[in-house]
Amino acid sequence: MSRYSVRRPTHNKETRAAEQIAKLLTQDMALDLERVGYYLVRNLPRIVFHRFEVMADSAQEESAILMGEYEKERGRGINYGLRR
């Protein structure tokens, strides 16, 4: 059984921060993320980049876990409502 719930998670400071970051990344799709990364490293203290790196690594690991669970469920004939 998946460890993810259909319910929205409780709002704590981490979920609010994640929602703010997601909003910033999706608000303007013309935003040049490479330039944002450039200014992040060049103009802000190194700790900002290191904290961003930890967050990105954590997101990548969770994505791999989620995709593994999805593939496992898909192999059992569960297709999460996808039409064929």
Which residue type is seen at 42?
Answer: R
Q: Which residue has the higher pLDDT, 76 or 1?
A: 76
> Is residue 9 scored above 80 in pLDDT?
no
Q: Where are the domains of the chain?
A: 33-84
Structure tokens at 20: 């703010």
pTM for this entry: 0.64
23-76 pLDDT, tens digit per residue, is: 999 999 999 999 999 999 999 999 999 999 999 999 999 999 998 887 877 776
Give the three-class secondary structure for 45: coil
The count of residues in the chain is 84
Look at residue 84 in the predicted model and tell me its pLDDT.
47
Does position 3 have pLDDT exceeding 70, yes or no?
A: no
